[in-house]
């Protein structure tokens, strides 16, 4: 078995989304592997029934990955709502305004 190559550091300043977790990472890896497999066998002279089986497996894995994402998003959304109920300026607020550009407040604007 070959050792895995070291993971490449994330380039740039982009943070991962708050709902991403290890199960989703693994699901994405499996889904992408299946997609590549289907793409490879479509270029070969393999019997049609084997190609159909691979496509069906790919669809199952894609659906499983999408379901994992939706489940995680719902769970994290409920956690954010609960956090917001406890502390309005806490983590939920910070997470919700994280992607907005830094707007200058009205007090720092100059009049003509």
Task: For residue range 31-75, list pLDDT tens digits in order.
Answer: 999 999 999 999 999 999 999 999 999 999 999 999 999 999 999
**Which candidate, 62, 70, 74, places its Cα nearest to that of 29?**
62
Cβ atoms 98, 57 nearer than 8 A? no
Report d(CA 81, CA 91) in Å as an integer: 10
Helix (H, G, I), strand (E, B) or coil at 83: helix
77-80's contacts with Cβ under 8 Å and 24+ in sequence apart are 77/19, 80/18
pLDDT digits (tens, 9 = 90+) for 77-99: 898 888 888 887 777 777 777 76
Report d(CA 73, CA 82) in Å as an integer: 14
């Amino acid at each position: 078995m070959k050792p895995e190559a070291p993971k490449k550091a994330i380039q740039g300043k982009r943070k991962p989304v708050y709902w991403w977790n290890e199960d989703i990472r693994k699901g994405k890896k499996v889904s992408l592997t299946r997609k590549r497999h289907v793409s490879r066998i479509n270029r070969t002279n393999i019997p049609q029934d084997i190609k159909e089986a691979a496509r069906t497996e790919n669809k199952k894995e894609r659906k499983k990955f999408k379901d994992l994402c939706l489940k995680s998003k719902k769970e994290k959304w409920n956690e954010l709502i609960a956090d917001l109920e406890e502390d309005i300026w806490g983590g939920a607020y910070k997470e919700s305004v994280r992607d907005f550009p830094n707007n200058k407040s009205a007090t720092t604007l100059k009049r003509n």
